[in-house]
């Protein structure tokens, strides 16, 4: 089944929002299949955000992301890449709907507290960048019978 990479950024960790963000994915029914806290290096973050190299905000983004530990997670379930982005809300919190994570907890685009993979392809790349070979820890959930028809 589909997997995505969701990360609580340093501002989310500092503000005590790890539980809130993880809880929303859990309550939706998605399955947590990996998680860890990492204080990432600039080099690692430049790889993660390679697509944005050259943007005017890139240096500030790397500095922000390297400013403290992040909480990196892998989630699994039906349509989880697209649904995960929907749970996070629009990139710019000023445009994020209330009820989304960013719409409820953030204001500035440069402090938008969370990251989510934007496609199945990037999810695969990001999971291997952050977690290496053993990207996820598979396990059966009895509750799946109550979440999926």
Residues with a known catalytic role:
115
Minimal distance in Å, beta carbon 135 to ligand GTP? 18
Q: Is 58 annotated as a binding residue?
A: no
The alpha carbon torsion through 100, 104, 106, 112 (nearest 10 deg) reads -20
Minimal distance in Å, beta carbon 55 to ligand GTP? 7
Binding site for ligand GTP (CB under 6 A): 52, 57, 60-61, 91, 109-110, 112, 115-116, 118
Per-residue DSSP letters for 67-88? SS-EEEEEEESTTHHHHHHHHH
The three-class DSSP label of residue 126 is helix
Q: Is 100 annotated as a binding residue?
A: no
**Residues between 101 and 130 with contacts to Mg ion, criterion CB under 5 A:** 118
Of 59 and 143, nearer to ligand GTP (C-beta) is 59
Count interface residues toward Mg ion (CB under 5 A): 1
Q: Characterize 30-66 residue by residue with b for buried, 16 or more Cβ atoms within 10 angstroms of its Cβ, and e for exposed.
A: bbbbbbeeeebeeebbbebeeeeeeeeeeeebbebbb
Q: What is the largest CA-CA distance in the chain?
A: 48
Known binding positions for ATP: 9, 57, 85, 91, 102, 112
Annotated binding site: 9, 57, 85, 91, 102, 112
* Contacting residues toward Mg ion, per CB under 5 A: 118
């Amino acid at each position: 089944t589909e997997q995505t990479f969701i990360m609580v950024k340093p501002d989310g960790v500092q503000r005590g929002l790890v539980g809130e963000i993880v809880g929303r994915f859990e309550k939706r029914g998605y399955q947590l299949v990996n998680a860890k806290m990492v204080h990432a290096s600039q080099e690692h973050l430049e790889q993660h955000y390679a697509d944005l190299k050259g943007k005017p905000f890139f240096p500030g983004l790397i500095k922000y992301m390297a400013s403290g530990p992040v909480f990196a997670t892998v989630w699994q379930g039906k349509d989880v890449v697209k649904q995960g982005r929907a749970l996070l809300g629009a990139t710019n919190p000023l445009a994020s709907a209330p009820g989304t994570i960013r719409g409820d907890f953030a204001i500035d685009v440069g402090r938008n507290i969370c990251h989510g993979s934007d496609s199945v392809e990037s999810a695969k790349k990001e999971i291997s960048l952050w977690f290496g070979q053993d990207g996820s820890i598979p396990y059966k959930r009895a509750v799946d019978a109550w979440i999926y028809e």
